[in-house]
Structure 1
């Protein structure tokens, strides 16, 4: 055994940091003597023990064997020191426990940050969230994209054009965005064009929300004489032969001759009787064409009617041409119209009630309710009323009758018997009505006619209705009528 071996075995086992450091320096000299090892950094195994991986050496003759023997003795000496070391803690142990304790106190789940897993300067695709790497890419909307990942939110296909549309944070092909968000005209069914300022300009009906190009107001596009909707290119209207057109939905419940209107007329008289406003006189009712109605209005010398007159309460003797038989529909127009001249003689304050033909049942009924109120006022001695007062209270009766027909919860002033009589006649007054009740389309039309009355802008019909309706809601119909008889105005 050589001297180096003897010295190694006779080294004392000294505990403490100073002895340990001398041992490590001595062990370092041995490793430098071999000159062939590759060091490894320490790794933590478990939570409480630390191990150092022994350096490996490449054998070079006897020197390599001596190095291996010295390494084995050094390892044995280290193990001997650990076995003889008293139970206690050193500074290194405390540092190790502190580092382990700090690592155990960290949050078990770290916030997700995909860019932190990639080296600085790499680009992450905003679509697939993967690294873009080499090749073509897009830079838009504050992100980078693979070309195949930048897709339209509507059709799902990649956007290859140089321009695209954006809605919120969703990209679209310009054509897809236009198809989804650009308004189309309900008349010509084309995209509504922009004006000179680059803005989309269109017209819209306040009730039906029908959107159409402004040009259709001047290109002779027909409007329905009942619901006021413009004629669509896909669904032609029916021409009534007097300059009026009727849509197919309004035609479904239209009343075309005097015979069809009689049951409706009598049901509205019953409605008045149910409100203790019985009309004792038998007032003739005629359905007439537009020209006949205008001629009768000129004979009455009335100047405060609406621009489109639909009904008239006559007080003078006249000869009126009424529609004798229901006309036929040929193609898109009314054919085979038969009229009959009828001489009206004055037997009381009211000669006759005239109503324009070809209107839906609910609109015809509201006109009859309005004109019957004119007749009731004249028969009961209401004289020299202003247009605002007379037309206003007549519009209230028209609105109340529509409300009883359309809305289930009717006014308390309209008794159940009259409502039932009006409803029963609605199923038999014309062959187009739905048996057993009104269709959804007819109810929608009724609400539109109520909307027309409530939002009329004329002073007599609109302003008068709102003033009369406020008085009726506050004081009731009977007290309002008594106040009108005494003062000629509405109670406030």
Structure 2
């Protein structure tokens, strides 16, 4: 019989679920689930300091390898870290693929618009708003000066980030497209495709549309 983590309990007693983090049972009122991963966890792990991957949302389980710290309370599990884009050079092929996709649709986005990797500090600086916590992409319209990621290197369980200031951004209707570093190629690609549509709409003069940023939904 397949082990679903569900314990039927005794007669007239509530069902219990196995927490994949601490391997203890809890009632449905005290356990949350991530259906995609078939992953159950006690609610207490959301506030007890248990490491949680900022890409796949899974908590560190007993016996699992240490999570990699990106700074700004951002952590990645080993699986997500193996596909994470940390260096601008890793974005070049991805950017070209998204541009080719747009070209097939008959949509041209000015290649002079810089596409840059940034961290959460820079997102909060540009938009000092608590609602920006889950933002992973931005299309900027004023000529912002941006602190972009120039290089990353891993030392143990930490990633050391080097930044550089870029002042000469595009001066037209769109000044830059900004992507949160440290996410998988799939997530950054989806973010770029989303933000590039914002850029294209702005270049077409559709500035009356509500401005939204690409967010990851928990």
TM over 0.5: yes
Contact persistence 1:202–1:211 (CA under 8 A): yes
Change (3 A) 1:307 1:200: closer
Match of 1:220 among 49, 55, 80: 49
Q: Deviations over 1:92-136 (max 9, x none)?
A: xxxxxxxxxxxxxxxxxxxxxxxxxxxxxxxxxxxxxxxxxxxxx
Larger relative CO (CA 8 A, sep 6+): 1 or 2?
Answer: 2
User: Which runs of 5 or more structure 1 residues have no equivalent in the other structure?
Assistant: 1-164, 168-180, 399-448, 457-492
Q: Deviations over 1:322-356 (max 9, x none)?
A: 1112x222222113x22111113343111111111
Q: Does 1:359 align with 2:183?
A: yes
The aligned counterpart of 1:192 is 25
Q: Distance in 2 between matches of 1:201 and 1:263?
A: 44
Structure whose residues are more often strand by fraction: 2
Structure (1/2) with the larger helix percentage: 1
Residues 270, 166 of structure 1: alpha-carbon distance in 2 compared, 3 angstrom cutoff:
closer
Q: Can you list the C-alpha shifts for 1:205-234, whole angstroms capped at 9, x where unaligned? A: 132221112221221222211111122232
Q: Does 1:320 align with 2:179?
A: no
CA shift in 2, pair 1:272/1:282, >3 Å:
same
Give the gaps of 5 or more residues in structure 2.
Answer: 1-7
Q: Give 1:183 shift.
A: 4.2
Relative to structure 1, is the Cα distance of residues 307 and 379 closer, same or farther in structure 2, using a 3 angstrom cutoff?
A: same
Q: 1:371 to 1:237 in 2, by over 3 A?
A: same
Runs of 4+ in 1 over 6 A off after TM superposition: none
- Does the CA-based 8 Å contact 1:192-1:201 persist in structure 2? no
2:177/2:195 contact within 8 Å kept = yes
| Alpha-carbon shift at residue 200 of structure 1 (Å) | 7.9
Cα distance change of structure 1 residues 214 and 277 upon mapping to structure 2, 3 Å threshold: same
Deviates more, 1:240-249 or 1:303-312: 303-312
Partner of 1:291: 121
- Indicate conservation of the 8 Å contact 2:33/2:39, yes or no: yes
Question: 2:5 matched to which residue of 1?
Answer: none
**Given the alignment of the two structures, is residue 330 of structure 1 paired with residue 135 of structure 2, yes or no?**
no
Describe the superposition over 1:35-64 as per-residue Cα deviations: whole angstroms up to 9, x where unpaired: xxxxxxxxxxxxxxxxxxxxxxxxxxxxxx
- How far apart in 1 are the matches of 2:70 and 2:111? 33
Whether the 8 Å CA contact 2:114–2:170 is kept in 1: the answer is no
Q: What are the residue-to-residue correspondences of 1:196-211 with 2, within 5 Å?
A: 201-211=30-40
Given the alignment of the two structures, is residue 344 of structure 1 paired with residue 168 of structure 2, yes or no? yes
C-alpha root-mean-square deviation of aligned residues, in Å?
2.9
Q: Is the 8 A contact 2:114 2:169 kept in 1?
A: no
Aligned CA distance change for structure 1 residues 305 and 258 (closer, same or farther; 3 Å): farther
Q: What residue is the counterpart of 1:311 in the other structure?
A: 137
Say whether the 8 Å CA contact 2:9–2:16 is kept in structure 1: no
Deviation at 1:254, TM superposition (A): 0.5
Give the distance between the partners of 1:386 and 1:370, measured in 2 at CA: 14
Q: 1:362 to 1:234 in 2, by over 3 A?
A: same
Query: Secondary structure, in 3 states, of the residue corresponding to 1:338?
Result: strand
2: CA distance, partners of 1:200 / 1:217 = 14
Superposition deviation, residue 193 in structure 1: 4.2
Q: How do 1:366-381 and structure 2 match up within 5 A? A: 366-381=190-205
* CA distance, structure 2, for counterparts of residue 345 and residue 193 of structure 1: 53
Q: The residue matched to 1:254 in structure 2 has which SS?
A: coil
Tell me, yes or no, if structure 1 residue 233 matches structure 2 residue 51. Answer: no
Matches within 5 A, 1:386-401: 386-387=210-211, 391=212
